[in-house]
Amino acid sequence: MTTFDIAQPRATVNDSADGLEIAIPAPRVWLAVLFLGFWLFGWATGEAFAIRQLFGPGPTEARMFLAVWLAGWTLGGGAALAACAWMLAGKERVRLLPDVLAIRRDVLGLGFTKPYPLDRVRNLRAQALPEIPPGLANPQALAGVKTAMRLVGVLGPGIAFDCDGRSVRFGFAIDLVEAQQLVTLLKARHAFA
């Protein structure tokens, strides 16, 4: 197994007999993790209170409303917990195999893998931050949204390619220079169309 050094890397690159693997940690946004931690404490308190009320005495209509509210509250808490877990322990694992580029997003080994056949992967590139389209009513407000989304790792520079008529992006936690280095490494291993 060979390990490659990249200037100021966030990604870990390993080459083995199984293929090339790039592991990219999820963006660590400590302010968001701290906020979500406090929010989840309040969420758990609300969840416990609502469950106790749901199974206690009271009018059927009120308990039905509470059941619907509790379902939404539980989904919201699950999403917040997943976001927090992603920022603390998430990784993107990109594997270049002989016939497929596989991207796995997981947290502590739990996740999903999406394979992309190499014969359909086109235009592999380092992706800069997307620009705000000209002519929008309030580009300053959109710039703030863009910054907030980048903070939680939803939008950022990274690597992109086209497959079956759509753009696929990954590696939001790496900067443009590291993305360019990783694209160069991937292209040295396979002649992407």
- Residue 193, pLDDT above cutoff 90: no
Kindly tell me the burial class for residue 138, based on how many C-beta atoms sit within 10 Å of its own C-beta (0-12, 13-18, 19 or more): exposed
Instruction: Please tell me the pTM assigned to this model.
Output: 0.74
Ranking 13-17, 108-112, 120-124, 138-142 by mean pLDDT, the lowest is 138-142
Q: What is the pLDDT of residue 138?
A: 60
pLDDT band, residue 17 (cuts 50/70/90): confident
Q: Mean pLDDT in the chain?
A: 85
C-alpha dihedral, 38 to 43 to 46 to 48, nearest 10°: -110
Q: What is the pLDDT of residue 116?
A: 96
- Residue 114, pLDDT above cutoff 80: yes
Q: What is the pLDDT of residue 173?
A: 84
- Residue 134, pLDDT above cutoff 90: no
Sheet holding 19-25, edge to edge: 2-3, 12-16, 19-25, 90-96, 100-107, 110-117
**Which pairing describes strands 166-170 and 158-163: parallel, antiparallel, or unpaired?**
antiparallel
Q: Which of 83, 100, 106, 109 is nearest to 161 (CA)?
A: 100
**Which of helix, strand or coil describes residue 132?**
coil
Q: What is the pLDDT of residue 42?
A: 94
Q: What is the pLDDT of residue 10?
A: 84
